[in-house]
Amino acid sequence: MFYILSPLYRLYERRLLREVRRGPMPRHIGLILDGNRRYARERGLDDPLAGHRIGADKLEEVMDWLEELEIRITTLFALSTENLTRPPGELNGLLALIEAKILAVAVDPKIHEKEVHIRAVGRLDLLPAPLQEAISIAEEATREHDRFYLNLALGYGGRQEITDAVRLLLRERGKCGMSLSRIAEEITPEDIGKYLYTYDLPDPDLIIRTSGELRCSGFLLWQSAYSEFYFCDAYWPAFRKIDLLRAIRSYQQRKRRFGT
């Protein structure tokens, strides 16, 4: 059956690609990478990290698809603050896997050939020192790149990001001698936006979540106020190019109202 279906899938993929290329393309896509553990369990894999390893390898493939479509900004929800409370055995393995992947990406010739700027966003201070060092290496190695932007949300929580933004705003204005009552009177949504982790990037046009779950789990709460959402049934390790193309096609078929 696989050999019969494969040519059909390739034909469908090419048709989808032609269709999508005719429409408006999102500038910034957010990806909630969900379903690694369930993918492993359903395939009888005993190692709890097996799904995460396959999911990590999927990233390179998906980035190639996005580059082909000239989607220049991608933000991946890879590790939430809640994930940091997982059992130590699983968490330590997951953190080591992320560290190794980031170090590999930092020296990947394709990353430098495509001029991908890598940045981590989140409460990085909550991450172990070796992972923080790996992040610094990747960010420094790609600091001058500006063709594509890959944001890795690590130790990330949307409520925490907003809290951090407000805290920074209060501190900065307090240093200028402003009273709390004046700050409260003058503060605007635009002011808070300037202190978000992704303050210098456009908000995501489209957010895709894999695994069939219908929630955002706190991902880019502020920035996604007017984003379009697409929920894909496939687990992240099984995410296919046609899944990405379907998501973009769905985005293109919607009329964005931006709150009106």
pLDDT at residue 259, as a whole number:
66
Q: What is the mean pLDDT of the chain?
A: 94
**Which residue in the list 36, 47, 83, 151 is annotated as catalytic?**
83
The domain tally of the chain equals 1
The two most distant CA atoms of the chain are separated, in Å, by 72
Q: Which CATH number belongs to the domain containing residue 129 in this structure?
A: 3.40.1180.10
Note if 83 is an active site residue.
yes
- Say if 151 falls within a structural domain: yes
Report if residue 195 sits inside a domain. Answer: no
Q: What is the pLDDT of residue 48?
A: 75
The answer for residues whose C-beta is within 8 angstroms of residue 174's C-beta and 6 or more apart is: 180, 183
Whether residue 131 lies inside any domain: the answer is: yes
Give yes or no for a contact between 161 and 129, defined as CB atoms under 8 angstroms apart: no
Best CA proximity match to 71, nearest among 35, 23, 138, 135: 23
- Which long-range contacts (C-beta less than 8 Å, at least 24 apart) are formed by 94-100? 94/49, 94/52, 95/127, 95/128, 95/131, 97/49, 97/52, 97/53, 97/56, 98/56, 98/131, 98/154, 99/130, 99/131, 99/134
- Note if 57 is an active site residue: no
The pTM assigned to this predicted structure is: 0.93
Q: Per the domain annotation, does 12 fall within a domain?
A: no
pLDDT of amino acid 90:
86
Supply the pLDDT for residue 257: 76
Tokens 């492993």 locate to 40
Which residue's entry shows tokens 């985005």?
Answer: 251
| Tens-digit pLDDT profile for residues 115-167 | 999 999 999 999 999 999 999 999 999 999 999 999 999 999 999 999 999 99
Catalytic residue among 34, 36, 203, 205: 34
Q: Is residue 231 part of a domain?
A: yes
Of 219, 220, 227, give the one whose Cα is nearest residue 258: 227
Binning pLDDT at 50, 70 and 90, where does residue 89 land?
A: confident
> Rounded CA gap, 195 and 220, in Å?
13
The fraction of the chain above a pLDDT of 70, given in percent, is 97
Residue 119 falls within a domain, yes or no? yes
pLDDT, tens digit, 9 for 90 and up, residues 193-235: 999 999 999 999 999 999 999 999 999 999 999 999 999 999 9
Report yes or no on 49 lying in a domain.
yes
Length of the chain equals 260
Range of the domain at 96: 26-157+203-253
- Asked whether 258 and 227 are in contact (CB, 8 A), the reply is no
Does residue 255 register a pLDDT over 90?
no
CA distance 204 to 37: 26
2-21 and 241-253 helices, crossing angle to 10°: 30
Q: Is residue 66 part of a domain?
A: yes
Residue 9 is predicted with a pLDDT of 87
d(CA 256, CA 66): 22
